[in-house]
Amino acid sequence: MLWPTTVVGAAAGYAVADIPGALLGLVLGQALDRHLRLQTWGELKDRLKGKSVLRDQELLFVLLGRVAKAEGQVLAAHIQQARLEMRSLNLNEQARRRAIGAFNRGKAGGDQLRGHLLRLKHQPNSAEGVLRACWRMVWADGQAGTAERELVVTWGKWLGWSSARVQGLGQDYEPRHKPVAKRGGAYEEAMRLLGVSSTTEPDQIKRAYRRLLSRHHPDKLVGGGATPAQIREATDRTRELHNAYSLIRERRDLR
């Protein structure tokens, strides 16, 4: 593992005071690396430019933003999936604003992410959670593009996963049939799924949608012993609910 400030400190110490200086610089540099949690030259460069080092949930939403933009256009389904992830994490308002900023940062694509992901390599639960969230974003619009898949597989390799294992994880979220909003008679089916009618008030529609999302979101199953088939079914149901709500909003011009 590369500790950039450790290297700089050792080199500077050697230049000033030979071996004793190098040893002192190494110790001080490593202490600074650990304090700042720097592991790559890219992270050090970001620090020197005044950029923050990505952490935890912020990193997650940068990755999700990158996936959403991978095929060139961020769709409404991607935005909705990001909102679902925020909701599943029970983010407060401040954390939600940071997540939105991180998602937009991910869409811009300016971050070097390898160093950030290497920090998770020895945290298997966190690594799997990140990959699962990325696959949910990949399948948010009901299809997985080549660029999206390649991104997640690459990130998985940086996390120490084999390509086959990463792709196998993605199968948990692959839809088994087309989303409701793309089928004939979709509006009537959408109302049936949400348990509403053409005369239901907008606030009641929104409450019905959120209640059903909370009940069926796959995050409630992950880590609870659910089978891949159960997770896939919950993912399909969540996607159908989203498409149903989007169609009703569009048809009734709801805001």
Residue-wise pLDDT for 109-121, tens only, equals 888 888 788 878 8
Query: Using N-to-C axis directions, what is the helix angle for 146-158 and 56-69, rounded to 10°?
Result: 150
Q: Cβ distance 239 to 139 under 8 Å? A: yes
Phi, then psi, of 175 in degrees rounded to 5:
-65, 145
Q: Are residues 165 and 223 in the same domain?
A: no
Mean pLDDT across the stretch 39-49? Answer: 52
pTM score of the predicted model: 0.60
Task: Residue 165: count other Cβ atoms within 10 Å of its Cβ.
Answer: 14
Residue ending a domain, among 172, 193, 221, is 172
The tally of domains found in the chain comes to 3
- Label residue 143 left, alpha or beta by phi (over 0 means left) and psi (-120 to 50 means alpha): beta
In eight-state DSSP terms, residue 92 is -
Domain that holds residue 34: 4-49
Q: H/E element holding 63?
A: helix 56-69
Count the residues in the chain: 255
How far apart CA 243 and CA 249 sit, in angstroms, is 10
Q: Is residue 178 part of a domain?
A: no
Average of per-residue pLDDT across 65-85: 91
Please, which pLDDT band fits residue 180 given cuts at 50, 70 and 90?
very low
Residue 203: pLDDT above 60?
yes
My answer on whether 45 and 60 are in the same domain is no
Both 121 and 210 in one domain: the answer is: no
Give the list of residues 6+ apart from residue 178 with CB closer than 8 angstroms, or none.
142
Contact partners, residue 142, CB within 8 Å, separation at least 6 = 77, 175, 178, 179, 182, 239
pLDDT number for residue 29:
60
Residue 148 counted as domain residue: yes
The domain that holds 218 is classified in CATH as 1.10.287.110
Give the per-residue pLDDT at 181.
Answer: 43
User: Is there a single domain that holds both residue 42 and residue 63?
Assistant: no
- 39's CB contacts (< 8 A; 6+ apart) are 1, 2, 3, 4, 33, 115, 118, 119
Same domain, 122 and 228: no
Cβ(159)–Cβ(131) under 8 Å?
Answer: yes
CA–CA separation, 147 and 158 (whole Å): 17
- Per-residue model confidence (pLDDT) at position 224: 64
| Sole residue written with tokens 């940068």 | 62
* Cα 54-58-61 angle, rounded to 5 deg: 125
- 239 and 154: one domain? no
Retrieve residue 111's tokens.
């971050």
Distances (CA, A) of 33 to 15, 52, 229: 20, 14, 44
